[in-house]
Structure 1
Amino acid sequence: MESESVTTPFGRRPMTLALLLKQRRGEAMAAGTTRNKWKLFRSVCEARAGLGVTDRALTVLDSLLSFYPEDELSSEKGLVVFPSNAQLSLRARGMAAATLRRHLALLVEAGLISRKDSPNGKRYVRRGRDGVIEEAYGFSLAPLLARASEIEVMAARIAADRQMLRAMKERLTICRRDIAKLLAAAAAEAVPGDWEHVTSMFQTILQGIPRAATIESLRPILEDLEATREDIANLLDLHEKMRIASTSESQIERHIQDSHTESISESEPSFETRQRQAAGQPDWLLRSATKPQKDGLRAQTNHREESRFAVGPRAGELTSFPLATVLLACPDIADYGPGGVIGSWRDLLTAAIVVRSMLAVSPSAYEAASRVMGPESAAIVMACILQRGECINSAGGYLRHLTRRAERGEFALGSMLMALLRVKIPAVGRAGS
């Protein structure tokens, strides 16, 4: 039975082992295999590059499929089509006979169709008395149906790669735009930095983008661009924070000079809101700042150094506290920092966002707190809520309550930290009382 399915080429075309293997593979398909011929053809078009066929060859395959009478290709039915060259040329949009033969050979070579030649090389069908086809000679679509699953998987992979490549190109375009505009902003704001070197590196990376981009060639370029964008953004962010801190220091210095005080005993100007700055504060938060200063300039310098993380002056906003004090009062927040460590205010802000999500605090509640209290103070409040988690039923509701109090100028962040410090360090709490 297997030997009967082998058909050698007619005329001068030689028989090869590869041709025999393709015929065997076409015949050895699972029983009951079926596919919609037009859906399968779309998969072939999608996987064209992987199959090694041209668009003209696909036109010929489309024409061959049109001669199959059913929409479903089935292994239970005959899969041989037998159009004449004239008919096939008409359905192939008038393709020349020589071109038609060349692309038919390409489809055979790609393993999508096979020839079933008659004794005289003609394509025809022999029917029985009842009109049923007994034997057909022409082109067999069996290899196409046998490879249906392989072709569909190949098409899906190529489609996914194309979508990924498109997404990478979009990310690359956005990244190029971001870097160009960030560099322009740095120049316009006169931000200190070796921007000529950064611009040169940026141009060097762009020159490495190939004309025919692939996922493999774009991936390292995109990583370099995104790393460059992150570095520039961090530098600009740091510059802006330093500018805000400098503005706050200037305001504090003017306040000290206008107060005509003999000495400075405050640790920081900020257990209350800026509308209600307190005059005297406990001396256990920053002992270096509580010692009486004979030199007023030294007192102002120490005061500004400890207040450099104070957030911008917005209505109702609370000032920040030394990071070491916050971590002493709320040690649990450190577990949620990058790598389980908090070494900067940026790490604290990142940890606060993680804790907000963990405690089911809505983004709107946290954004409102950040807007009213300031980002650093809102992060400190989240750290306090985490530390007192067993005593708070609804973290989100409690945060909204504190935000409303801060808007009215009734919330003292220092009292909350002091209460936690008394629990952690009872002796210090007694000393401050």
Structure 2
Amino acid sequence: MDTNFVTTPFGRRAMTRAMLTGQSKARDVNPAHSVDKWKLYRALCEARGRLGISDRTLALLNALLSFYPKTEISSETGLVVFPSNQQLSLRANGMAEQTIRRHLALLVNAGLIARKDSANGKRYSRRHRDGEIREAFGFSLAPLLARSSEIEAMAQDVIADRLRLQNVRESITICRRDIAKLIAMAEIENAPGEWPAHYQTFRDIIDSIPRNADIDLITTALQKLRALRVLIINTLDTWKDSRILGGNPSQNERHIQISESESSLDSEPETVTEIAENVRSDSSSSRTPNGTIPLSLVLSACPAIADYAPCGDIRDWRDLSAAANVVGRMFGISPSAYQAACSTMGAISTAVAVSCILERSEHIQSPGGYLRHLTRQSEAGSFSAAQMLMGLMKTREQAIAELIRN
């Protein structure tokens, strides 16, 4: 039987502890045990990281397994394969002979195969008169068979770890979105709280996660993000409850007036020409953009901003401001720069400006620097959100006209 041997390697190759261990495990194979070689190979592919073998080493093992005549590896049908390096090269997609030797040594050191060298180092078999193999020299798959249960369990652990990692990454993505949008909403609504500090904590946690982080590091980051989200939600709940308790009829009346103003936007000018006329006829910088620009036109000129809305849809100016705040953070615009823009231009003008910046982001190297430039223009009285939007639409119309001419 092929498992009952201890053999040393031919030639100058020294005997190693890995060879002795592999042969020792081979002797422990249960004669009645068998395993599907391709099912075991798939398990090896999953567990290759823990076994310390590469894809190239697995490719060579695949070639070795293809020389085993049966689908089921069993000691009853023999466990030694004896292909030449030339035959292995043909089935390993032309792998060089020197590379074959190196990966064979890696398979032996990993305890997946064992050498059974002949007296002259050749690989061959001796057969009985009836054609059955009496003795074979080459590479024994006995260690692979002996470790089949271990390898399958290892593969299951790797798959389970990968699923856990995927679940944790998905949870981090959701938690990141929640924190970013809650902070953006809190700043727009002027809710009391340490929002710049919370945002800095949020960025510190995210930036501490390396690209190839392990499950433990990502789980720790998720726990920190969840704790921060709970802190933010508790702060907002306290603020919300205080607003409900401190409400009065005049506040409620004001909310109704805002709602009515937003619902009447359809009657406002909707063409570039009409906007230009309104801009020329009203040079006062104190006039709010929603007095000259319909929200529907902003969304038509800047459709990308809707992807960042709190509910995936922009229904009013407040939704536009929330989406613009999220885009500002995505561009790396500092909270102080964004707040300065809102203080100078107004929250709605800033939202329109950021929406235009998003549409032309591929042409703007520094969105934060550009917003600061617009803020300085607004301080000088030379900035108009309506004119910026009109310029964006004219540029788009010119591009379309040029495309049609060509």
Please indicate the TM-score interval, normalised by the length of the shorter structure: 0.5 to 0.7
Give distance in 1, aligned partners of 2:14 and 2:3.
18
Partner of 2:154: 154
1:3-14 alignment to 2 at 5 Å?
5-14=5-14
Structure (1 or 2) with the larger CA radius of gyration: 1
Matched residue of 2:77: which SS? coil
Give distance in 2, aligned partners of 1:237 and 1:71.
64
Give distance in 2, aligned partners of 1:219 and 1:200.
20
Check 1:74–1:228 CA distance in 2 against 1; reply closer, same or farther (3 A cut).
Answer: same
Partner of 1:298: none
Letter aligned with residue 50 of structure 1: R
Give distance in 2, aligned partners of 1:148 and 1:88.
23
The offset of 1:247, in angstroms, is 2.5
Matched residue of 2:246: which SS? helix
The offset of 1:7, in angstroms, is 1.2
Give distance in 2, aligned partners of 1:44 and 1:251.
67
Give unpaired runs (5+ residues) of structure 1: 253-433
Give distance in 2, aligned partners of 1:3 and 1:73.
13
Letter aligned with residue 92 of structure 2: A
Letter aligned with residue 95 of structure 1: M
Give distance in 1, aligned partners of 2:225 and 2:12.
59
Q: Is 1:206 the counterpart of 2:206 in the alignment?
A: yes
Give distance in 2, aligned partners of 1:191 and 1:25.
68
The offset of 1:250, in angstroms, is 7.8
The offset of 1:196, in angstroms, is 1.5
Measured against aligned partners, the alpha-carbon deviations of 1:346-380 in whole angstroms (never above 9, x if no partner) come to xxxxxxxxxxxxxxxxxxxxxxxxxxxxxxxxxxx
The offset of 1:249, in angstroms, is 8.6
Partner of 1:138: 138
Q: Percent identity?
A: 56
Partner of 2:192: 192
Partner of 2:118: 118
Matched residue of 1:47: which SS? helix
Give distance in 1, aligned partners of 2:27 and 2:48.
23
Matched residue of 2:135: which SS? strand
Asked whether the 8 Å contact 2:81–2:138 carries over to 1, the reply is yes
Matched residue of 1:115: which SS? strand
The offset of 1:107, in angstroms, is 0.3
Partner of 2:168: 168
Partner of 1:408: none
Give distance in 1, aligned partners of 2:206 and 2:216.
16
The offset of 1:145, in angstroms, is 0.6
Partner of 1:180: 180
Check 1:31–1:3 CA distance in 2 against 1; reply closer, same or farther (3 A cut).
Answer: closer
1:216-365 alignment to 2 at 5 Å?
216-247=216-247
Check 1:48–1:3 CA distance in 2 against 1; reply closer, same or farther (3 A cut).
Answer: closer
Check 1:26–1:214 CA distance in 2 against 1; reply closer, same or farther (3 A cut).
Answer: same
Asked whether the 8 Å contact 2:2–2:140 carries over to 1, the reply is no
Give distance in 2, aligned partners of 1:86 and 1:251.
87
Check 1:224–1:249 CA distance in 2 against 1; reply closer, same or farther (3 A cut).
Answer: farther
The offset of 1:3, in angstroms, is 10
- Give the TM-score normalised by structure 1: 0.56
Matched residue of 2:247: which SS? helix
The offset of 1:17, in angstroms, is 3.7
Give distance in 2, aligned partners of 1:9 and 1:79.
18
Give distance in 2, aligned partners of 1:112 and 1:49.
14
Check 1:220–1:42 CA distance in 2 against 1; reply closer, same or farther (3 A cut).
Answer: same
- Give the TM-score normalised by structure 2: 0.60
Give distance in 1, aligned partners of 2:18 and 2:116.
16
Letter aligned with residue 24 of structure 2: R
The offset of 1:251, in angstroms, is 9.9
Letter aligned with residue 166 of structure 2: R
The RMSD of aligned alpha carbons is 2.0
Q: Is 1:43 the counterpart of 2:43 in the alignment?
A: yes
Matched residue of 1:212: which SS? coil
1:48-59 alignment to 2 at 5 Å?
48-59=48-59
Give distance in 2, aligned partners of 1:15 and 1:214.
37
Measured against aligned partners, the alpha-carbon deviations of 1:174-217 in whole angstroms (never above 9, x if no partner) come to 11111000000001111011212111211221221122211111
Asked whether the 8 Å contact 2:21–2:111 carries over to 1, the reply is no
The offset of 1:108, in angstroms, is 0.4
Measured against aligned partners, the alpha-carbon deviations of 1:112-155 in whole angstroms (never above 9, x if no partner) come to 00111111111111111111110111111110010001101111
The offset of 1:220, in angstroms, is 1.6
Check 1:251–1:49 CA distance in 2 against 1; reply closer, same or farther (3 A cut).
Answer: closer
Partner of 2:262: none
Partner of 2:20: 20
